[in-house]
């Protein structure tokens, strides 16, 4: 479904939005990771890598060539829902193919815009979906890859200070431990900053934020539930809560759990739980005729975090596990 849309000469990049009761509208997708084209580009890259077909390579390059060369970040957000989606994706994928020069120029252009940005004025600084956290982790990836290293490190230090001040000066008792909107995303990001900078203040702040006792999991939503604690402190997932999931997306449902099971298959022996949940998702799809996501019969939701692309990406990770001859590692959406 996703790939067929890319094949079209003029693909329809819009998704249905249920804005009130049974009322729907179509929303044009942007360049973000959460619901936009950048998330689909990430999926298409790993389809190309895993399947190694010329047709997939052509589709991948078609999407790469659509990355805009002029960037303005004056009114954007910097989270997964922001206009830096392509900047995030290019820090993950390793082959820009025939678009290498254009992609490197785009990265430099974004860095120039970031260097002019007053991050202190950004709202929701400590949020993963809408705030600064994905940007910081993206810059850390560029630093580790050696791309524009000095510029990137200066930005990491600047953003690190902004995040540190924001978190240390507020009352964190009401934020909870979700990943998308809570403290788990903050802790994950602070750990990455500390690994790069080795500044003691980040380690001390992490110790202040970590839960003093085991968090009881009531909801396994990645965005707003206690699932976020599993990313920083892996533990067994309550089976009863898994069984109660009524959504198949990454942000709100089972795909986040499947990603977790894949990530910790060796460490925690989650293979049985993984197979069981995968079978449950597939059987429900066979029974109901569609995945449990927010979409309509006429307009599918192609997004990475709330739609079919996230499901396809997660299944692709599972397929890669069983292709040991290629040894392809597809990164978890939990770590982006």
Is residue 56 a contact partner of residue 326, using CB atoms and an 8 Å limit?
Answer: no
Q: What DSSP line would sit under 151-178, residue for residue? A: HHHHHHHHHHHHHHHHHHTS-GGGS-S-
Q: What is the structure's pLDDT at 16?
A: 62
Report, as ranges of residue numbers, the positions in the chain whose pLDDT lies below 70: 1-27, 74-75, 296-298, 324-326
Angstrom distance (rounded) from CA 39 to CA 2: 11
Q: What is the structure's pLDDT at 133?
A: 98
In order of 52, 139, 164, 264, 289, the CA distances from 114 in angstroms are 35, 11, 18, 35, 45
Question: Per residue in 255-311, pLDDT tens?
Answer: 999 999 999 887 888 899 999 999 999 999 999 888 888 776 667 888 999 999 999
Angstrom distance (rounded) from CA 313 to CA 318: 9
Angstrom distance (rounded) from CA 240 to CA 160: 38
Q: What is the structure's pLDDT at 7?
A: 47
Q: What is the structure's pLDDT at 294?
A: 75
The H-assigned helical ranges of the chain are: 2-7, 37-51, 54-64, 85-90, 100-115, 133-145, 149-168, 183-197, 200-209, 228-232, 239-243, 254-263, 265-268, 271-288, 308-321
Pseudo-torsion of CA 66, 109, 140, 95, nearest 10°? 40
Taking the model in full, what pTM does it have?
0.91
Is residue 163 a contact partner of residue 126, using CB atoms and an 8 Å limit?
Answer: yes
Is residue 201 a contact partner of residue 211, using CB atoms and an 8 Å limit?
Answer: no
């Amino acid at each position: 479904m996703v790939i067929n849309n890319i094949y079209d000469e003029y693909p329809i990049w819009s998704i249905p939005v249920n804005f009130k009761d049974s009322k729907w509208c179509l929303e044009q997708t942007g360049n973000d990771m959460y619901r936009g084209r950048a998330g689909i580009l990430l999926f298409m890259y790993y389809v190309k890598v895993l399947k190694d077909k010329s047709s997939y390579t052509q589709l991948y390059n078609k999407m790469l060539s659509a990355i805009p060369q002029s960037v303005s970040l004056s009114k954007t957000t910097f989270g997964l829902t922001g206009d830096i989606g392509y900047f995030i994706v290019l820090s993950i994928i390793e082959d820009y193919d025939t678009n290498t020069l254009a992609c490197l120029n785009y990265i430099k252009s974004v860095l120039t815009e970031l260097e002019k940005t007053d991050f202190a004025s950004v709202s929701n600084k400590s949020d993963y979906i809408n705030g600064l956290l994905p940007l910081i982790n993206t810059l850390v990836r560029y630093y580790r890859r050696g791309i524009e290293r000095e510029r990137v490190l200066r930005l990491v230090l600047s953003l690190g200070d902004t995040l540190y001040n924001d978190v240390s000066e507020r009352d964190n008792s009401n934020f909870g431990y979700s990943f998308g909107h809570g403290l788990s995303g903050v802790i994950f990001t602070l750990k990455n900053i500390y690994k790069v900078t080795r500044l003691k203040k980040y380690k001390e702040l992490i110790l202040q934020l970590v839960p003093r006792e085991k968090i009881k999991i009531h909801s396994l939503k990645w965005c707003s539930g206690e699932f976020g604690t599993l990313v920083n402190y892996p533990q067994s997932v309550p089976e009863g809560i898994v069984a109660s999931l009524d959504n198949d997306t990454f942000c709100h449902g089972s795909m986040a759990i499947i990603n977790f099971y894949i990530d910790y298959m060796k460490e925690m022996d989650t293979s049985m739980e993984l197979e069981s949940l995968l079978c449950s998702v597939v059987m429900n799809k066979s029974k109901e005729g569609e995945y449990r996501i927010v979409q309509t019969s006429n307009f599918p939701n192609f997004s990475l975090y709330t739609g079919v692309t996230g499901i396809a990406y997660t299944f692709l990770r599972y397929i890669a596990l069983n292709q040991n001859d290629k040894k392809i590692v597809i990164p978890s959406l939990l770590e982006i």
